[in-house]
Amino acid sequence: MNAVVVGGGLGGLSAAIRLAHAGWRVTLFERQAELGGKAGTNTLGPYRFDTGPSLLTMTHVFERLFSDVGRRLEDYVTFRPLETICNYFFDDGTRLFAYGDVERFAREIEEKTRDDAAAVKAFLERTREIHDTGAALFLERSLHEWSTYTRLDTLRSLLRFGRIDPFRSMDAAHCAHFSDPRTVQLFNRYATYNGSSPYRVPATLDIIPYVEYVLGAFAVVGGITAIPRALERLAREMGVTVVTGAEVTRIVVDRGRRVRGVAWRSADDKEADASRESEFTPAETVVCNVDVTVAYRDLLDDEVAPMARRYRRLEPSSSGLVFYWGISRSCPELDVNNVFFSPDYPAEFRALFDELCVPEDPTVYVNITSKVTPEDAPANGENWFVLVNAPRNEGQPWDEIVPRVRDRVLQRVSRVLDRDIAPYIAVEDVMTPADIEARTGSNKGSLYGISSNGRLAAFLRHPNRSRRHRGLYFCGGSAHPGGGMPLAVLSGTIAASLIERYER
Ligand SMILES: Cc1cc2nc3c(=O)[nH]c(=O)nc-3n(C[C@H](O)[C@H](O)[C@H](O)COP(=O)(O)OP(=O)(O)OC[C@H]3O[C@@H](n4cnc5c(N)ncnc54)[C@H](O)[C@@H]3O)c2cc1C
């Protein structure tokens, strides 16, 4: 039996590995030269950068993918737990270390803010309840199959629905629990982990601080890019045929809307003659790792499909503006992950979701992989991945916006570090929301599919099995259960298990 996977992001790789292990003949088409999608890599002279994701959580998801197919993750890639998950710099001069050890983190909050350690531990206990009640249901199963709702553990989760705190916003929950605005801001930041606003997402999303502080946050030796490399190796070992530089132009369905295969052309053909006929690869099953909205528009030519119409109405998650700076000195006061908070967080999210512009004075995130992987930068240098939250791409004039934001970022970071950073930028590159859209095919450059800015978002994501096109399955950040590396991997797992159930 033949399966085709369209797109070599983490979701597509996960589905391909599981299907090949289950005995399918799998071909994976990726239009870029390398697999990984948003988890790409970029080299500028002696500096190497991860292009997208930087913080890894829920490593058990990756471990399970390897062990389920008879391999050990540690033979392919090394995850390193972060002793200090993140350095937080507040505008009032407070510097706070978010330690991976909960006791130490709670004491740090007590020392640096008006909240006490007990409040932090009680908060994380509440997040445990959210996780234990909702994680299996919302992250590991399809929410769109009846069989999910006949399971005892699902019924138990649904009976305890109130415990996942779905009726108030994350910010309201944090304001009720903590008294210091800095603690509130620190925990509000977790809404951005899936491109949403803390003033609109349900407090259920407090599952994110649970996975970060209790299950742990990790760096990857060799950078995040080592993850797609490891998955690619595993996929090839499982027998997946990987075709890179190959763009799928159409998911071919017959009159009865049954999938028949894909039409594709190599990047070279496209370059030589855009109108050149595509090749056809037959398959009984197609797993689409391409953004759902883009797939309906470009690959299925089915924009009237109810799901396509629904997705056009849903709000995409936020995007990002990324500066890649090769810095010609080391900054010992920085760690792997560093956040320089904006003084006005509500204004930041109004800009992102209401005004659709980059905040005037944005929060700045700096990730430095060379702190873990020294080869990523020359001696005494550092590779700074600098991210500010940006709105989805609606054709804003990015050429004008980029220099303005660059100045603001430099001002903020230089002020906090008490040192002008600009002269130390040896090489640089930038990625705007429009670039993210063009390079990874995400709808409007959104980082995580649709936003979670609504109580029902979890139920509105695209099902992993298409009801309209038989044999068609979806995985990746725009499908259930959503964006973020582990969730993308889980989406591939869910898609593969549905294929086993329905297509055998
Ligand atoms: C700047 C940034 C920061 C992020 N930070 C984090 C983080 O810290 N932690 C975290 O967990 N997550 C983070 N994420 C999100 C995470 O990267 C994604 O959720 C995840 O990698 C998405 O995987 P995916 O399976 O949806 O595939 P994608 O990465 O979206 O890949 C899809 C692939 O399909 C290919 N494709 C598209 N169209 C076609 C076609 N027609 N034919 C063939 N191939 C096609 C694309 O080239 C691409 O390779 C971040 C993302 C970005 C961009």
Average pLDDT of the chain? 95
Would you state the pLDDT for residue 270? 67
| Residue 450: strand pairing partners | 316
Ligand 1 midpoint to CA 13 (Å): 11
Is it the case that residue 413 has pLDDT exceeding 90? yes
Q: Does domain 1-39+223-314+455-504 have CATH number 3.90.220.20?
A: no
Instruction: Give me 257's structure tokens.
Output: 């809307």
| Closest of 205, 408, 214 to residue 317, by C-alpha | 205
Is it the case that residue 153 has pLDDT exceeding 90? no
Would you state the pLDDT for residue 274? 65
- pLDDT one-digit tens code per residue, 62-105: 999 999 999 999 999 999 999 999 999 999 999 999 999 999 99
Instruction: Give me 43's structure tokens.
Output: 């080299």
Ligand 1 midpoint to CA 33 (Å): 15
CA gap 55, 385 in Å, rounded: 12
Of 38, 278, 369, 487, the one to substitute when testing ligand 1's pocket (max ligand atoms within 8 A of C-beta) is: 38
3-state secondary structure of 295: helix
Taking the CA of residue 11 as reference, the ligand 1 atom at the shortest distance is 25
Ligand 1 midpoint to CA 281 (Å): 24
- pLDDT band for position 455 (cuts 50, 70, 90): confident
CA gap 383, 400 in Å, rounded: 25
Taking the CA of residue 298 as reference, the ligand 1 atom at the shortest distance is 41
Instruction: Give me 470's structure tokens.
Output: 């038989």
The gap from C-alpha 17 to its chain's centroid, in whole angstroms, comes to 20
Among protein residues, the one with the nearest Cα to ligand 1's atom 14 is 53
Ligand 1 midpoint to CA 413 (Å): 28
Among protein residues, the one with the nearest Cα to ligand 1's atom 22 is 477
Is it the case that residue 459 has pLDDT exceeding 90? no
Q: Is 344 exposed, middle or buried (0-12, 13-18, 19+ CB in 10 A)?
A: middle
Q: Is 0.85 topped by the overall pTM?
A: yes
User: Hey, how many other C-beta atoms are within 10 angstroms of the C-beta on 436?
Assistant: 25
Among protein residues, the one with the nearest Cα to ligand 1's atom 45 is 7
Taking the CA of residue 51 as reference, the ligand 1 atom at the shortest distance is 1
Is it the case that residue 38 has pLDDT exceeding 70? yes
Q: Which residues line ligand 1 (CB under 6 A)?
A: 6-12, 29-32, 37-39, 52-55, 247-248, 289-290, 320, 322, 387, 436, 440-442, 447-448, 476-477, 483-485, 488
Among protein residues, the one with the nearest Cα to ligand 1's atom 34 is 7
Instruction: Read off φ and ψ for residue 24, nearest 5 degrees.
Output: -80, 150
Ligand 1 midpoint to CA 263 (Å): 22
- pLDDT one-digit tens code per residue, 321-334: 999 999 999 999 99
- pLDDT one-digit tens code per residue, 185-242: 999 999 999 999 999 999 999 999 999 999 999 999 999 999 999 999 999 999 999 9
Among protein residues, the one with the nearest Cα to ligand 1's atom 53 is 52
HEC profile of 420-470: CCHHHEEEEEEECHHHHHHHHCCHHHCCCCECCCCCCHHHHCECCECCCCE
DSSP-derived pairing of the beta strands 2-6 and 285-288: parallel
Ligand 1 midpoint to CA 414 (Å): 31
Length of the chain: 504
Would you state the pLDDT for residue 277? 65
Would you state the pLDDT for residue 275? 66
Instruction: Give me 80's structure tokens.
Output: 């390193």
Taking the CA of residue 479 as reference, the ligand 1 atom at the shortest distance is 26
Taking the CA of residue 367 as reference, the ligand 1 atom at the shortest distance is 8
Ligand 1 midpoint to CA 423 (Å): 33
Among protein residues, the one with the nearest Cα to ligand 1's atom 32 is 9
- pLDDT one-digit tens code per residue, 362-411: 999 999 999 999 999 999 999 999 999 999 999 999 999 999 999 999 99
Ligand 1 midpoint to CA 39 (Å): 6
Ligand 1 midpoint to CA 172 (Å): 31
CA gap 106, 149 in Å, rounded: 38
Would you state the pLDDT for residue 137? 84
Angle at 195 between CA 391 and CA 73, to 5 degrees: 135
CA gap 352, 358 in Å, rounded: 6
Ligand 1 midpoint to CA 123 (Å): 31
Among protein residues, the one with the nearest Cα to ligand 1's atom 20 is 485
Is it the case that residue 337 has pLDDT exceeding 80? yes
**Domain ranges across the chain:** 1-39+223-314+455-504, 101-216, 319-391+394-431
**Quick check: 353 and 391 in contact, CB under 8 A?**
yes
Ligand 1 midpoint to CA 187 (Å): 25
